[in-house]
Amino acid sequence: MLATVQLITGALVYGVTRRALIVDGERQLVANAKAFDAQMDDVSARIAGNVRVMALDFALRQAIAEGDRGTVLSVLHNHGRRVGASRMQLINLDGTIAVDTADVHADGKSFPFSELIQRAFYERAAEMAAVQGRVYWIVVVPIYAPQPVGLVVVYVQVDDELLAHMQELSTLRRDVALEVQLAPVQWQAVAFGDRSAPFARGLEHVTGDFPSQPSLRRIAQSDYIVLAQPLRHPYNSAPVVILFGYSLDDALRPYHNLALAWSALLALGLAAGLLGAWVIARNVSRPVEWLATVAKRIEQGDYRVPPRLHRRDEIGALANAIGTMAAGVQQREERIFHQATHDAVTGLPNRTAIEADITRDMDSGVTQGSLLMIGLTRVPDIIKTMGHGLCDRLMHDAGERIQHMADGAQVARATDSNFVTWLPNTSRDEAVQAAIRILEELATPYTEPDVSIDMVPAIGIAVYPEHATQAVALLRYAETAQFAAVGSSKAWAFYQASIDPHRPEQLSLMGELREALTRGQLELFYQPKLTLPTRRLDSAEALVRWQHPVRGAISPDVFIGMAEDTGNIQRLTRWVLETAIAQVSQWRVQGLQLRVAVNLSAHDLGDADLPQYIVDLAALHRLPHEQLTLEITERAVIGEFDAVSRVLQQLGEEGFHIAIDDFGVGQSSLSYLHKFPIDELKIDQSFIKHLNDDSDDRIIVRSIVELSHDLGYHVTAEGVEDEGTLDYLASIGCDHAQGYFVARPMNADSLAHLITTQPKSSHA
């Protein structure tokens, strides 16, 4: 920083000084140009005065009048030496040369600069002219006797000697040259103030025009301020300029010592600055950088306490504070990590920790293992009855028992009611033996004063790598197996993919069901219903079937439950309604008057727009409302009473038939159902299948029929599979029968054929 500041300062000082010298040089050149003009005017005035004195000489005027050339030539020679002229001429009034001291053959020739002759009679005529490669200061003076008898021309050569003489008499600069233009961009120097100077030598290689204003030029590898002063010259003479130069390098030379002194001070200051920076770095900067490195390491999770700095200043205090902070953060981090990976009640690792342990064992080369998911099935009831405090103590006791029986295996608490035991390098048989030991240990009830609680454990087993090769999947499969083990006689079970509702193919099937609705993979089948008094088929129940292009026929029990779980049941129901209503309408056109029943789920009954949707569909297909029956289950009715009641009331008011399906196995009663607009009850097949053998079932079915008729309901019996059952139902006044004995589900064309070909009266 010090060096940068000093260099900038030096550059600024140099720039300001150089600019000031340029301005001063320009001023000096302008003054020199004016001084040169003044000196030349003095020379011309002096010469003109001397010539006038000479013109008063009687002998000269008489010689001129008599044409005595020799006398005139002698006088001109003598006078020319006195005024420093290199050439003298006598010019006749007609402009011809009478006498020339430098050229005896010039007599009679015309004087080349006639405009000087014309001006000489009314003003002093003096101009610079180039003659035969030389430059002369020409002064023309008339001679009167008393009338003009001629003119005297004085040639004063401007050469090195004259310029040197003028430098002695004035402040004319040493770097001065007289230049004559030979071509538009070519000049020739004819005189120098000092030919040995670099300025004079450099002009030999300079071409181009010279500046009429002070300008910076590069001459002889040096910077010069140059000014060209044009000199007055006759029109038929080559242009002549006096060129002044001001050496900027010479002007800056006195400052070189100052620059050397400044450089020495800069070096000294820089050395002192480097020494100070080294001292600061050693005592301040490096320790601070080290502390920053330690802080960065702490940020990345490395809480090793840094070594103490044996200093008593602020940096030492800061280092000690960082060390204390690192130790405190490490302790808190360990505590937080323990809390994040352990159960607070039992002190055992939690699901995240055991998952990491299992993954680590798998990565380390364990070839097989078993995972036991141990569930205490009564935990929810215990919490509801006895509270969380007792349940926590029970889980703590269960965790200790499992650890005791696990014989060193890894044990963790997976959920509120489940424990996990990971048994690496164990076979299926060893896993079963471990499960049996744990079940026997947990069979002993948990006791407190006045309390004895049976835990009712159930264990699910997943085997690595048979069932899964990842810890998360192994845990999920063991939990699925534990659900299957609940209530079984053994209280333990291995994972089976066939009973896993969450296996990947099931998840895939959920998405494929949505595609099936749009790609026409679903089809409605119809199971006929027999009117018992007439033994004729007059109605049917619509049942959806799914023929998967890859999986084949998929059971409705599988995909209907899945549709309810995924929220697709409403789309499925609306598809069934639209398809069934369109089919019934087509049958009416064909002359078949059939009533078709469509099943509605609990999700459908929560849709307030459903009644209007069905009304619009019936209107679109011109279907009388009484030809559509809507079947609902008892569970759907009881679940959301108010919402279901509003929907059913609207459907009943529109004239649609309402039927309760699977009646007798739910939680409803006849008096409760009487609050709904019910038209029909369908007795569940569990009461119908054993009518021939079970007198209790016959009593129950007969009672339901009688009570239903008293309440104004029609009755349909489901699951009729033999003629005896059919006859009994007819004998007790049951209205309709449905089952495989009557007819199996069939497609629309088959049903239409069956209806049209049935006899007028049948006792099948």
Question: Do 509 and 483 fall within a single domain?
Answer: no
**Exposed/middle/buried for 145, CB within 10 Å: 0-12, 13-18, 19+?**
middle
In a domain, 262, yes or no: no
Distances (CA, A) of 83 to 37, 51, 160, 540: 19, 9, 18, 152
Point out the domain boundary residue: 465, 498, 531: 498
**Which pairs with CB-CB distance under 8 Å and at least 24 residues apart come from 692-701?**
692/722, 692/724, 692/725, 692/728, 698/728, 700/664, 701/729, 701/732, 701/734
Question: Do 494 and 526 fall within a single domain?
Answer: no
What confidence score (pLDDT) does residue 701 get?
93
Among 452, 454, 459, 432, residue whose Cα is nearest residue 443: 454
Question: What are the backbone angles phi and psi of residue 180, rounded to the nearest 5°?
Answer: -115, 135
Residue that has been written with the tokens 């420093």 in this structure: 84
Separation of alpha carbons 284 and 306, rounded Å:
17
What confidence score (pLDDT) does residue 221 get?
80
Using the predicted structure, report yes or no on whether residue 743 has a pLDDT greater than 90. yes
What confidence score (pLDDT) does residue 499 get?
59
Point out the domain boundary residue: 310, 340, 370: 340
Angle at 546 between CA 544 and CA 550, to 5 degrees: 180
Using the predicted structure, report yes or no on whether residue 507 has a pLDDT greater than 80. no
In a domain, 288, yes or no: no
Instruction: For strands 134-144 and 148-157, give the pairing.
Output: antiparallel
Q: Is 665 helix (H, G, I), strand (E, B) or coil?
A: coil
Separation of alpha carbons 452 and 448, rounded Å:
6
CB within 8 Å of 497: residues ≥ 6 apart? 503
Q: pLDDT tens across 32-81, in order?
A: 888 888 888 887 788 878 877 777 777 777 788 778 888 888 888 888 88
Question: Do 473 and 549 fall within a single domain?
Answer: no
Lowest mean pLDDT of 92-101, 255-264, 313-322, 707-716, name the range: 313-322
Q: Is the dihedral of CA 565, 580, 639, 701 positive or negative?
A: negative
Q: Are 140 and 90 in contact (CB under 8 A)?
A: no
In a domain, 293, yes or no: no
Residue-range definition of the domain harbouring residue 215: 2-252
Q: Which two tokens stand for residue 502?
A: 């969450």
Question: Do 216 and 235 fall within a single domain?
Answer: yes
Question: Do 198 and 305 fall within a single domain?
Answer: no
Angle formed by the axes of helices 388-406 and 428-443, to 10°?
140
Question: Do 591 and 693 fall within a single domain?
Answer: yes
Q: Are 737 and 719 in contact (CB under 8 A)?
A: no
What confidence score (pLDDT) does residue 285 get?
64
Stretch 534-538: mean pLDDT:
91
| Domain containing residue 731: CATH number | 3.20.20.450
Q: pLDDT band at 762, cuts 50/70/90?
A: very low
Q: Is the dihedral of CA 663, 667, 671, 673 positive or negative?
A: negative
Domains contained in the chain, number: 4
What confidence score (pLDDT) does residue 199 get?
78
Q: pLDDT tens across 648-673, in order?
A: 899 999 999 999 988 876 555 555 67
Using the predicted structure, report yes or no on whether residue 637 has a pLDDT greater than 80. no
Distances (CA, A) of 90 to 58, 106, 147: 16, 11, 16
Point out the domain boundary residue: 340, 362, 390: 340
Q: pLDDT tens across 176-228, in order?
A: 888 888 887 778 888 888 877 777 777 766 666 778 788 888 887 888 888 88
In a domain, 762, yes or no: no
Q: pLDDT band at 628, cuts 50/70/90?
A: very high
Q: pLDDT tens across 232-272, in order?
A: 888 888 888 888 888 888 877 888 888 788 788 878 878 88
Q: pLDDT tens across 276-296, in order?
A: 777 776 666 667 777 777 777
Q: Which alpha helices (DSSP H) does 622-735 contain, by range?
A: 634-639, 641-653, 670-673, 685-688, 695-710, 723-731
Q: Which two tokens stand for residue 375?
A: 């569930």
CB within 8 Å of 38: residues ≥ 6 apart? none
Q: pLDDT tens across 566-605, in order?
A: 677 888 899 999 999 999 999 999 999 999 999 998 888 8
Q: What percent of the chain has pLDDT over 70?
A: 92
Q: Are 668 and 648 in contact (CB under 8 A)?
A: no
Using the predicted structure, report yes or no on whether residue 458 has a pLDDT greater than 90. yes
Question: Do 51 and 120 fall within a single domain?
Answer: yes
Stretch 747-759: mean pLDDT:
90
761 or 136: which carries more pLDDT confidence? 136
Lowest mean pLDDT of 111-125, 245-259, 491-505, 544-558, name the range: 491-505
Q: Which helix (H) or strand (E) covers residue 565, if one does?
A: helix 556-566
Q: What percent of the chain has pLDDT over 90?
A: 28
Question: Do 150 and 64 fall within a single domain?
Answer: yes
| Domain containing residue 69: CATH number | 3.30.450.20
Angle formed by the axes of helices 641-653 and 610-621, to 10°?
20
Q: pLDDT tens across 429-439, in order?
A: 999 999 999 99
Sheet holding 148-157, edge to edge: 97-100, 87-91, 148-157, 134-144, 125-131
What confidence score (pLDDT) does residue 543 get?
94
Q: Is the dihedral of CA 5, 7, 13, 15 positive or negative?
A: negative
In a domain, 284, yes or no: no
Using the predicted structure, report yes or no on whether residue 503 has a pLDDT greater than 70. no
3-state secondary structure 279-332: HHHHHHHHHHHHHHHHHHHHHCCCCCCCCCCCCCCHHHHHHHHHHHHHHHHHHH
Question: Do 107 and 24 fall within a single domain?
Answer: yes
Q: What are the DSSP calls for 398-426, one per residue? A: HHHHHHHHHTT-EEEE-SSSEEEEEEET-
Question: Do 193 and 144 fall within a single domain?
Answer: yes
Rounded to two decimals, the pTM is 0.46
Separation of alpha carbons 462 and 481, rounded Å:
7
In a domain, 763, yes or no: no
Question: Do 442 and 522 fall within a single domain?
Answer: no
In a domain, 473, yes or no: yes
| Domain containing residue 475: CATH number | 3.30.70.270
In a domain, 230, yes or no: yes
Amino acid at 628: L
What confidence score (pLDDT) does residue 639 get?
57
Q: Are 355 and 363 in contact (CB under 8 A)?
A: no
Question: Do 484 and 579 fall within a single domain?
Answer: no
